[in-house]
Structure 1
Amino acid sequence: MALDASARAAVTVGRPTGELRSLWLDPATQSRIWAHFADVTPLDDRTFDWVARGPAGGEYRWRTEVADAVSDDVRWSAMEGADVPNTGLLMFRPAPGDRGTELHLDVRFDPPGGAVGEAISKLFHIAPAEIARKALYRFRALALTGEIPTTEPQPAARNGGTDR
């Protein structure tokens, strides 16, 4: 039996829709906002290679393609042969009170069954909702400040990134 892991998340960003959509579609943005989950390599403006690391050193690979836009929304899906078939939809809506834009992210992962599906389900045990929330959090930080905050040690001329 295949696992169906889907998640939804939303965030409000104090920026106009057009600016946010352009930032999301920037190939360099994708590798930054999904870094907590997978290595994302842009192949062109619409196609990305993904590598997610799972339990016991497993790697799961797929390629996604952004669909032709028929609205402000952004849709993507994994191409044939993906280890983890998936789809995504990012919707942009005006925020109440002229406070920017609401972003609604829906992602769905459909890993295969069997031993591979079981290993992937461990990867996604906490993941679908957390993956979506964290991606939007990282995107919001990038849109508002130009960077994504981290708790990784920052050496800044210190010995191993720690103060002594």
Structure 2
Amino acid sequence: MSTTEAEADTATAAAITIGKPAADLRSLWLQLDTQSRIWGHFAEVTPTGDRTAEWVARGPAGGEYRWRTAVVDDGPATVRWASEEGADVPNVGALRFRPAPGDRGTELHLDVRFDPPGGAIGEAIAKLFHIAPREIVRTALYRFRALALTGEIPTTEPQPAARSGGADR
């Protein structure tokens, strides 16, 4: 891999503890609508099959980047996925489930790697993901924890005084 290719790689990891059994969390992660809910801050995710999905991320200058992912290996302690051939943003990911210390539930370790292509398109995609790749992954885990513990993801969107467009500007 050349230096330019290595610089374009965007890999990040994050972890969180959730007070639920690994089997329950794994099952929730694999439900068809879960990915669209937890990654909604970053991309539109549309399930296309039992273990496949189409992703659309919006980037700099109104760019739109598309890819499809498929779960490629899913043992009881790990869920792995990868983008399919032809992706605008090739990527791979793994979510590992480990018992939390002190019988406090399950530790989730999420690793994601995006490999933007070269050239001008690659630069635009790299800007999209370098905004805060770790924050993208952390936010997904926080949203997943909220979903696992409460059945919903908190938002300020429908509130008239919410910071992202409310009347209190």
Tell me the TM-score normalised to structure 2 length.
0.90
Partner of 2:130: 125
Contact 1:54-1:123 at 8 Å conserved across structures: yes
33, 40, 45: which is aligned to 2:38?
33
1:76 has 2:95 as partner: no
Q: Which runs of 5+ in 1 are unaligned?
A: none
Alignment partners' CA distance in 1, 2:167 and 2:19: 35
Identity %: 74
Partner of 2:150: 145
Alignment partners' CA distance in 2, 1:56 and 1:80: 25
Tell me the TM-score normalised to structure 1 length.
0.92
* RMSD between aligned residues: 1.5
Partner of 1:114: 119
Partner of 1:14: 19
SS at match of 1:93: strand
1:103 has 2:108 as partner: yes
* Shift in Å, 1:161: 6.6
Contact 1:24-1:30 at 8 Å conserved across structures: yes
Contact 2:23-2:76 at 8 Å conserved across structures: no
Contact 1:84-1:109 at 8 Å conserved across structures: yes
* Change in 2 beyond 3 A, CA 1:21/1:56: same
Q: Deviations over 1:14-53 (max 9, x none)?
A: 0000000000000111100000000000011100000000
* Shift in Å, 1:140: 0.2
Q: Which runs of 5+ in 2 are unaligned?
A: none
Partner of 1:87: 92
